[in-house]
Amino acid sequence: MSKLFEIKPLSVLLSESKSDQGLRKSLNALNLTTLGVGAVIGAGIFVLTGQAAAQYAGPAIVISFLISGLACLFAGLCYAEFASMIPISGSAYTYAYATMGEFVAWIIGWDLILEYLFAASTVSVGWSGYVVSFLKDFGLIIPAQFTAALGTVLVDIPQVGWKMVTPELTKNLAETGIAIDSLPHLTAILNLPAMFIVAFITILLLVGIRESARFNNVMVIIKVFVIILFIGIGFMFVNKANWVPFIPENTGEWGHFGWSGIFRGAAVIFFAYIGFDAVSTAAQEAKNPQKDMPIGILGSLGISTLLYILVAIVLTGIVSYTFLNVADPIAVGVDAMGPGLFWLRPIIKIAAIAGLSSVILVLLMGQPRIFYSMSKDGLLPPVFSKIHPRFKTPYASTIITGSVALILAGVLPISILGELVSIGTLLAFAIVCVGIIVLRIKRPDIPRSFKTPFVPLIPILGAGICILQMASLPWKTWERLIIWMALGFVIYFTYGIRKSKLRNP
């Protein structure tokens, strides 16, 4: 049992980092910051803001963003210290291996699959919603049964189009005098647009990290410019009545409005903040990781949090939160500004498509590099650490990741995917925060180019807020996490523990 918690010495990790010439070092501080912004600014603004406001927090979704942003700040400071000290691909998996042992490292490595692979699938579903809406504006209609998850029931609403049937939609239609049973229905087969974008990004990532970073930079510039444009114009159309009540009264069920809804909303939208964590997976491809990783992590987090809060304020001021439980809430906000702003509608959708594309790219980039590190340690089969001789990318794990993400994107709804990603991300962040305290006690002598301030207060607050938000998620999400982790334990005890290079050098 003691060997389960045997750590991988930092000297070994750093030596491996210097000797491993497999991955190409081509990223600077600007590239890392835009990678972070590319991952963070996406689903949170373009998809989850409206849905979390409609289902959990109302206009107080702004407070939810502040809570999640604070937790991310604490976790981000811990990530920055680790990333500057251990500049190795693998992110929280590698940090756990150096502080809490192999078994905890396996747990977090397996958990990170929820964070990256499932998140890429989640965002691709949001991407699909905006692409379908954008093409419809130009008279190009994708059959509705190929635009949603397998088995999803869709209803055709006059002047709106096909929408997923939810209790909130049924209630809203009833209030306008429309019985949902009177409208045409159909059952979806596959979400083909979501599957397409995952396949396209996977191919791009196979070509190389430099090319992927350039693509991401262009996408980030487009979406940040348009988001600022939406905020600036949107403030002129805010109706303060939409902010009343700012905190809707709780329905009697925990997590549905009121303060419990704010905390559940914070837990659900926490998914939107995973981008700065994804930055740390590219440590081995950074030119100067000790200096540039903290800049990339904290810089992207600060920029993204500010934009999230401003968009949440404007969106819930333009449209009543009750109408925002859709796949494209920003587009709904633009529609509410009136026909005079119709020109902004396609621009917003282009920005959303670009923004969500960059999120998918960063997430599908992060997961193979975690697999790469786990495979190099012997915990996964050698195929996961194969590097393409020309492109210098982990091509086998990229193909495997992309293939699984493609299937998930086609068959699972965004609600299930989003909650799984949130609980996986929160668990990873909590372990990283605890790891900083452990390493400060065990190895205070290690040079740190960046230090988390106010240790142990900041790590304790970071871990505490993450655990609180995990507790706010529905029990079904916990059940899925338990099943997922149980599957991970089976793989570790039947393969990883026998093949570990720590035990079998």
| pLDDT tens, position by position, 220-229 | 888 888 889 9
Contact 48, 269 (CB under 8 A): yes
Q: Which of 478, 468, 417, 473 is nearest to 67 (CA)?
A: 468
What distance in Å separates the CA atoms of residue 505 and residue 499, rounded to the nearest whole number?
10
Least confident of 47-51, 127-131, 272-276: 272-276
Angle of the 344-376 helix axis to the 29-40 helix axis, nearest 10: 110
Residue 449 has what pLDDT? 85
Produce one character per residue of 28-59: b if its CB has 16 or more CB atoms within 10 Å, e if not.
Answer: bbebbbbbbbbbbbbbbbbbbbbbbbbbbbbb
Domain count of the fold of the chain: 1
DSSP-derived letter for residue 43 is: H
Cis peptide before 245 (omega within 30 of 0): yes
In a domain, 163, yes or no: no
How far is residue 37 from each of residues 130, 149, 220, 224, 442, measured CA to CA in Å? 20, 28, 7, 9, 34
**Residue at 76 is within a domain:** yes
Q: Residue 2 pLDDT more than 70?
A: no
Work out the percent of the chain whose per-residue pLDDT is above 70: 94
**CATH code at position 147:** 1.20.1740.10
Evaluated on CA atoms 414, 357, 50, 263, the torsion sign reads positive
User: pLDDT tens, 246-303?
Assistant: 999 998 888 889 999 998 888 777 767 766 677 777 777 778 877 888 888 888 888 8
Q: Is the pLDDT of residue 79 over 80?
A: yes
Q: Which residues contact 55 (CB under 8 A, 6 or more apart)?
A: 168, 256, 265, 325
What mean pLDDT do residues 129-142 have?
85
How many CB atoms are located within 10 Å of the residue 218 CB? 13
The amino acid occupying position 23 is: L
The pLDDT, as a whole number, for residue 197 is 94
Which pLDDT does position 393 carry in this prediction? 79
Compute φ and ψ for 205, nearest 5 degrees. -70, -25
Integer-rounded Cα radius of gyration of the chain: 22
* Mean pLDDT, residues 494-502 taken together: 89
Asked whether residue 10 is assigned to any structural domain, the reply reads no
* CA–centroid distance for 226 within its chain: 21
pTM of this structure: 0.80
Is 194 a residue whose pLDDT tops 60? yes
Spatial distance between the Cα atoms of 496 and 315, rounded to a whole number of angstroms: 47
Confidence of residue 95 (pLDDT cuts 50, 70, 90): confident
Strands 185-187 and 153-157: antiparallel
Q: What is the domain range of residue 71?
A: 32-152+188-499
Q: Give a yes or no: residue 4 inside a domain.
A: no
Cis before 456 (ω within 30)? yes
Are residues 112 and 380 in contact, defined by beta-carbon separation less than 8 angstroms? no
Whether 19 is covered by a domain: the verdict is no
Better-scored residue on pLDDT, 344 or 280: 344
Task: Report the distance separating Cα 124 and Cα 360, nearest Å.
Answer: 7
pLDDT tens string 434-471: 989 988 998 888 888 889 999 999 999 999 988 887 88
| Mean pLDDT within 361-383 | 89
The β-bridge relationship of strands 161-164 and 153-157 is antiparallel
Per-residue pLDDT band at 22 (split at 50, 70, 90): low
pLDDT tens digits along 473-489: 788 889 988 999 999 99
Would residue 16 count as lying in a domain?
A: no
Please state, rounded to an integer, the average pLDDT across all residues of the chain: 84
For the range 312-315, what are the long-range contacts, defined as Cβ-Cβ under 8 Å and sequence gap of 24 or more? 312/49, 312/53, 312/61, 312/62, 312/65, 313/62, 314/230, 314/231, 314/234, 314/235, 314/238, 315/49, 315/50, 315/53, 315/234
Between 270 and 341, residue with greater pLDDT = 341
Residue 97 lies in a domain: yes
Residue 180 located in a structural domain = no
